[in-house]
């Protein structure tokens, strides 16, 4: 939801000392202009350890990393914003803290709207727990030779980074050793555990110094040492470790002995000028000086007779916006020193002034506008040319604030500092040849791969557009010769701040600018509706009315509604408001039964002004939509009868009866299951699409008002989604936007794309060729682990299907395949030979009978199961040897395993549909005529020449009979869907247990019958698997209507740091308005806990739906629990 308040947090200064008081001002302003007076506000402060890094002493390390500091959060309390929209809080910083160095204090201010939603903002300040800081740096690296001095420099600075003479410093030297113990760990396994022992070996008092000073220590033994410098008066200390070795290494006695320091006399240069490069090298020698970025633009050979020098570099236009000057220095062979580096290197960016490519833009717009009107915005482009173009966007500031969005800045994008794309290497064993003169090359072209975002499904069965975002765009506009353009924008109904963002371009010149204006009616309505409600929920809608008419008056506010909802309070409220005053009216409502859209209309009028708003709200079921499916055959002797009356809530049910002479209609249940499966990983996406290559005619049987279009539409859309999931190695990400792939799923998807291209669908060459390369690399290697070998042989099958068989690898596995190779892998290997045209070898590989391969359903890995193995074998036999005696047995086993025309997992459904579809191509013998009766009333007729798809509500009005006349056989598919009349679904735990609890922000149990509106609460989800190694466990947590997830990805939302510290990390997370969807891999049998934050937003009484856990590839492993009710109340 877009923000409606802007929050700022302002401390009285930016740095503090221990014991000092910090005064914090929190200010809230309505985005339509006036202060957010009277709103509740909260402030908390978090102390976190940070590094002390003064720029002038960047080579030093300040503080002691061995000191630890646990971040802590302080709640500073609550308050109310005053009439000016401000509140002040105080905090006194603690004393006696001993962190490694300085501390950052993150102040979070939160303002809570009257409707319960909250907006947060942050401000950081610095706490200096020490009066000074000690910095150290080694002069001889991290190693020294035993018996020789180890040297370091140290400096003492004040908190501002200036040298500050300390009192007496103490230097302590510790010898670090480790004792290893063979100990049993928490998993019951024995392993070595090393414990460090620190032994003080030397102490020295150091004389105070104003500037940098040096300290040396000579180790007398091997091993690691630690030097600690401490100021006893302030408590500041610094530490540094080094290693004393005995194998003859002696570091060169110089700081950074192989580094060249480079310096330029200007920060930025004009084209045509000269840059003076100052070289400060550790030794004299011959230098290769290069100007480079994505390539080498220019280079010179320079003799550096001493260890310093100056080189003039002509600045060229092609250097824009910046290049890098690199210097490679080689020491003369005659000048080599023992253990000293033979080469040194340095690089430095050279910035070129590009301001001539900047277009200036001025925006002229009134400070305040009215909605529902056309507005003119004047855009003036300075130094515009004939080819100048501009574009203007106007966006709700509340939307921009969600992500801290900034105006697009093409000038910085194209002319900001670019990274160095070249890597420098040298070979010590070779002599560099002489390089003469100077060479310049032209700029190369290039390309860039883009990964498109993928569309995700909305799982709420009620689809509506809750928020109508204000986001206006002018299109491309050409200004007049003086650079001026008048852009007209039609403002919708909107009250808030509108951000205007202009971008201009002219060839290689760019510019951007932004401005803000307030849009509001004289009367402003600000209602807060929940994001959804469930049947029988009671909820309160607060409506704020702001009087901007300029005078006091009486205002009438009316609420009207459409849909199954009851207004339990008076629909008309009268408010007396002074000028610039805001008051809130409350309406009490109760949701009715059913599912659908609730529409509301608010009207307020007074002082001759009027304002209207319309809102939509989803009436969402507290349980998921469920389906009852059956299929089979009908003959004259065996008619079909059924009665599905009163199974679903009114208004939620849909019915489909499909009658066909083709036996494939019995498989519509499997296709329905795949198309409606709610999740979108790679395997499930592919499984939804694969059968549609063979079952276009089935799609009409499962539409029932849900699906539109034909198979081409779904397959084309799906291919686009899959292409967006491809990774650089040619495999495919398992989850949209992810970086991890599953080998079996990638090969499975490649199989689909090969078949899709053969069927005439477009798969881009880039994706396809990269995919084939991935398959070719996958089949290499001789691993015999079952899952790896299974995926390799499947990849061989797909390569042969593509017409690019790997014959040598096929021959290897034909000869050396292990005896325990599964029958489905043997079938894939036979299929690989079949598609090369070698039918004889293919049939030799196939056994004459296929005994049942028992596979426990795998929840991950290759998703093996007994049924899928049978389906893979049958699919190959249908091509290679359709008259094989095993075909009948396999068809029988697969059909018997189906329940309601479908099977248990997406893999089983997809492979079973593909296998049976190859065999069920012909329609049944015989002819028939048929009739459908509701009681004695005939409601439809059909015959054996075509399909009948009947989606008629009368199917649920009583007893239905389907009768045939003739010698033919008719196949039927019956589906009814809706919300069960029962909302108290029984809780169960089968193979896994999931529970959900609600806690306060400190982690204490929360009373669900009295949750305060606006409070942040924590949901703790506990998952306990019944067996180890469960993967792809999906958790669907339906929310009650009064709570909203505090999305941690949104900048203006409150955060609780301990949530991520205590929470197990999911494999995938999908945050929706009405639910949170999680996927986990659970390797061990133990309790796993996941935490997330919610906000109590809308007052009322709500159904608390069950939380559900289910293994995607073993659906019998599931859990439902933690249902009930909650109550959200005002202060």
The DSSP code sequence of 923-961 is: PPSS-EEEEEEETTEEEEEEETTS-EEE--GGGGSSEEE
Q: What is the pLDDT of residues 838-888, one digit of tens each?
A: 988 998 888 666 666 667 778 778 888 888 988 899 888 888 887 776 776
490 DSSP β-pair partners? 374
Half-sphere exposure for 492 (CA within 13 Å, toward CB): 12
In this prediction, residue 612 carries a pLDDT of 92
User: Which position has the token pair 């600690």?
Assistant: 228
177-210: burial string, b at 16+ Cβ within 10 Å, e else: eeeeeeeeeeeeeeeeeeeeeeeeeeeeebeeee
- pLDDT digit string (tens) for 713-749? 778 888 999 999 999 999 999 988 888 899 999 999 9
Ranges of residues in the chain with a pLDDT under 70 are 166, 180-194, 246-257, 333, 335-340, 425-467, 624-627, 651, 662-679, 695-710, 820, 847-854, 885, 888, 900-901, 920-924, 981-985, 1048-1062
- On the 0-12 / 13-18 / 19+ scale of CB atoms within 10 A, 504 is buried
Q: Retrieve residue 554's tokens.
A: 């009486």
Per-residue pLDDT at 945? 85
Longest CA–CA span in the chain (Å) reads 113
520's tokens: 């509001």
First to last CA, the chain: 23
Query: What string of DSSP letters covers 363-379?
Result: EE--SEE-SSSEEEEEE
Query: Across the strands, what pairs with 419?
Result: none
Question: How far is the C-alpha of 94 from the C-alpha of 80, rounded, in Å?
Answer: 26
Virtual torsion, Cα 141, 144, 149, 154, nearest 10 deg: 20
Could you give the 3-state DSSP secondary structure of residue 1045?
strand
C-alpha 993/C-alpha 986 separation (Å) is 14
* Per-residue pLDDT at 251: 35
Contact 283, 335 (CB under 8 A): yes
Quote the tokens at residue 391.
């574009």
Q: What is the pLDDT of residue 796?
A: 95
Give the single-character DSSP code of 733.
B
Alpha carbons 537 and 539: distance in angstroms, whole number:
6
Contact assessment for residue 352 and residue 315, using Cβ atoms and an 8 Å cutoff? yes
SS3 assignment, position 843? helix
The torsion angles phi and psi of 1033, rounded to 5 degrees, stand at -85, 115
Q: What does the pLDDT read at residue 246?
A: 53
pLDDT reported for residue 671: 65
Domains of the chain are: 5-127 (2.60.40.1940), 133-245 (2.60.40.1930), 269-352 (2.60.40.1930), 358-419+461-519 (2.20.130.20), 523-619 (2.60.40.10), 662-919 (1.50.10.20), 988-1129 (2.60.40.740)
Q: Tell me, what's the pLDDT at 1067? A: 87
Spatial distance between the Cα atoms of 834 and 800, rounded to a whole number of angstroms: 8
With a threshold of 0.75, does the pTM exceed it? no
Site of tokens 């991935």: 774
Q: Round to whole Å and give the CA distance between 118 and 1051.
A: 12
Q: How far apart are CA 297 and CA 441, in angstroms?
A: 6
Residue 973 neighbours by CB distance under 10 Å:
27
What integer pLDDT is reported at residue 516 of this predicted model? 93
SS3 1071: strand
The tokens for 646 are 């009163």
Alpha helices in 1010-1097 (DSSP H): 1057-1062
Find out whether 998 and 1008 touch, Cβ atoms under 8 Å.
Answer: yes
């Amino acid at each position: 939801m877009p923000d409606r308040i802007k929050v700022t947090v302002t401390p009285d200064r930016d740095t503090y000392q221990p014991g000092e008081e910090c005064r914090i001002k929190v200010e809230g302003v309505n985005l339509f202009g006036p202060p957010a007076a009277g709103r509740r506000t909260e402030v908390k402060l978090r102390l976190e350890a940070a590094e002390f890094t003064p720029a002038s002493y960047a080579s030093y390390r300040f503080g002691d990393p061995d000191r630890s500091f646990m971040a802590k959060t302080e709640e500073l309390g609550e308050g109310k914003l005053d009439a000016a929209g401000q509140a002040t809080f105080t905090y006194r910083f603690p004393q006696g803290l001993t962190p490694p160095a300085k501390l950052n204090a993150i102040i979070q201010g939160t303002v809570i709207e009257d409707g319960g939603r909250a907006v947060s903002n942050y401000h950081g300040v610095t706490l200096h727990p020490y009066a000074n800081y000690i910095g150290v740096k080694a002069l001889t690296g991290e190693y020294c030779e035993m018996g020789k001095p180890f040297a370091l420099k140290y400096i003492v600075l004040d908190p501002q980074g200036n040298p500050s003479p300390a009192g007496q410093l103490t230097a302590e030297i510790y010898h670090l050793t480790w004792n290893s113990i063979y100990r049993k760990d928490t998993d019951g396994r024995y392993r070595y555990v090393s414990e460090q022992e620190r032994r003080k070996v030397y102490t020295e008092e150091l004389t105070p110094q104003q500037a940098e000073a040096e300290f040396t220590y000579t180790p007398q033994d091997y091993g690691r040492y630690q030097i600690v410098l401490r100021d006893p008066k302030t408590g500041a200390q610094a530490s540094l470790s080094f290693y004393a070795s005995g194998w003859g290494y002696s570091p060169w006695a110089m700081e950074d002995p192989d580094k060249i320091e480079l310096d330029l006399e200007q920060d930025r240069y004009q084209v045509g000028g000269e840059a003076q490069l100052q070289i400060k090298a550790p030794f004299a020698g011959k230098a290769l000086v290069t100007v480079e970025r994505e390539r080498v633009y220019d280079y010179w050979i320079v003799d550096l007779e001493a260890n310093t020098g100056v080189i003039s570099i002509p600045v060229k236009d092609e250097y824009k916006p910046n290049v890098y000057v690199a210097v490679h220095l080689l020491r003369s062979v005659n000048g080599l020193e023992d253990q000293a580096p033979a080469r040194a290197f340095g690089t430095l960016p050279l910035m070129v002034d590009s301001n001539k490519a900047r277009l200036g833009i001025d925006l002229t717009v009134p400070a305040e506008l009215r909605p529902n009107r056309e507005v003119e915005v004047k855009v003036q482009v300075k130094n515009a040319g004939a080819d100048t173009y501009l574009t203007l966007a106007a966006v709700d500031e509340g939307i921009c604030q969600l992500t801290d969005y900034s105006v697009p800045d093409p000038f910085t994008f194209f002319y900001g500092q670019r990274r160095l794309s070249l890597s420098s290497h040298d070979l010590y064993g070779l002599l560099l040849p002489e390089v003469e003169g100077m060479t310049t090359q032209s700029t190369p072209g290039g390309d860039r791969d883009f990964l498109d975002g993928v569309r995700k499904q909305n799982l709420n069965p009620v689809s509506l557009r809750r928020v109508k975002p204000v986001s206006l765009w002018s299109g491309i506009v050409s200004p007049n010769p003086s650079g001026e353009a008048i852009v007209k924008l039609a403002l919708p109904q909107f009250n808030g701040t509108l951000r205007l963002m202009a971008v201009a371009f002219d060839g290689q010149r760019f510019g951007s600018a932004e401005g803000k204006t307030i849009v509001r009616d004289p009367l402003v309505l600000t209602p807060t509706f929940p994001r959804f409600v469930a049947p029988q929920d009671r909820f309160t809608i607060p409506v704020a009315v702001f009087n901007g008419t300029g005078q006091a008056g009486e205002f009438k506010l009316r609420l009207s509604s459409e849909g199954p909802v009851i207004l339990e309070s008076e629909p008309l409220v009268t408010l007396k408001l002074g000028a610039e005053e805001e008051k809130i009216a409350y309406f009490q409502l109760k949701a009715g039964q059913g599912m659908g859209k609730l529409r509301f209309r608010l009207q307020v009028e007074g002082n001759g002004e009027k304002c209207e708003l319309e809102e939509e709200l989803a009436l969402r079921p507290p349980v998921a939509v469920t389906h009852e499916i059956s299929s089979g055959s009908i003959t004259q002797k065996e008619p079909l009868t059924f009665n599905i009356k009163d199974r679903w809530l009114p208004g939620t049910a849909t019915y489909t009866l499909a009658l066909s002479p083709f036996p494939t209609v019995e498989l519509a249940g499997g296709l329905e299951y795949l198309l409606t499966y709610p999740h979108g990983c790679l395997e499930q996406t592919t499984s939804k699409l694969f059968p549609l290559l063979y079952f276009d005619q089935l799609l009409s049987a499962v539409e029932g008002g849900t699906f539109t279009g034909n198979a081409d539409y779904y397959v084309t859309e799906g291919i686009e989604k899959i292409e967006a999931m491809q990774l650089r190695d040619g495999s495919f990400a398992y989850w949209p936007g992810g970086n991890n792939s599953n080998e079996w799923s990638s090969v499975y998807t490649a199989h689909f794309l090969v078949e899709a291209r053969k069927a005439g669908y477009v798969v881009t060459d880039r994706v396809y060729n990269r995919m084939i390369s991935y398959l070719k690399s996958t089949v290499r290697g001789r691993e015999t682990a079952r899952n790896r070998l299974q995926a390799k042989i499947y990849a061989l099958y797909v390569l042969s299907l593509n017409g690019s068989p790997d014959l040598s690898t096929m021959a290897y596995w034909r000869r050396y395949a292990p005896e325990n190779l599964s029958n489905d892998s043997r079938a894939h290997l036979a299929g690989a030979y079949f598609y090369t045209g070698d039918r004889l070898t293919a049939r030799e590989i196939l056994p004459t009978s296929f005994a049942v391969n028992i596979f426990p359903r795998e929840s991950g890995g290759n998703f093996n199961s007994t049924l899928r193995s049978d389906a893979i074998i049958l699919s190959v036999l249908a091509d290679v040897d359709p008259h094989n005696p095993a075909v009948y047995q396999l068809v029988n086993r697969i059909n018997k395993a189906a329940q309601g025309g479908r099977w248990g997992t997406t893999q089983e459904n997809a492979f079973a549909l593909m296998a049976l579809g190859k065999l069920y191509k012909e329609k049944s013998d015989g002819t028939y005529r048929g009739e459908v009766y509701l009681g004695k009333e005939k409601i439809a007729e059909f015959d054996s020449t075509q399909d009948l798809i009947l989606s008629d509500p009368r199917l649920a009005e009583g007893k239905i009979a389907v009768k045939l006349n003739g010698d033919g056989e008719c196949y039927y598919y019956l589906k009814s869907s809706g919300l069960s009349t029962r909302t108290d679904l029984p809780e169960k735990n089968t193979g896994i247990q999931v529970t959900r609890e609600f806690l306060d922000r400190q982690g204490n149990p929360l009373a669900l019958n009295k949750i305060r509106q606006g409070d942040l609460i924590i949901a703790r989800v506990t998952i306990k698997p019944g067996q180890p190694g469960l993967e792809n466990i999906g958790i669907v947590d339906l929310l009650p209507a009064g709570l909203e997830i505090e999305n941690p990805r949104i900048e203006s939302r409150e955060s609780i740091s301990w949530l991520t510290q205590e929470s197990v990390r999911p494999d995938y997370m999908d945050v929706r308005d009405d639910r949170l969807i999680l996927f986990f891999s659970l390797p061990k049998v133990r309790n796993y806990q996941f935490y997330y934050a919610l906000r109590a937003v809308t007052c009322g009484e709500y159904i608390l739906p069950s939380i559900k856990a289910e293994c995607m590839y073993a659906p019998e492993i599931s859990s439902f629990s933690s249902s009930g009710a909650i109550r959200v109340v005002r202060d």
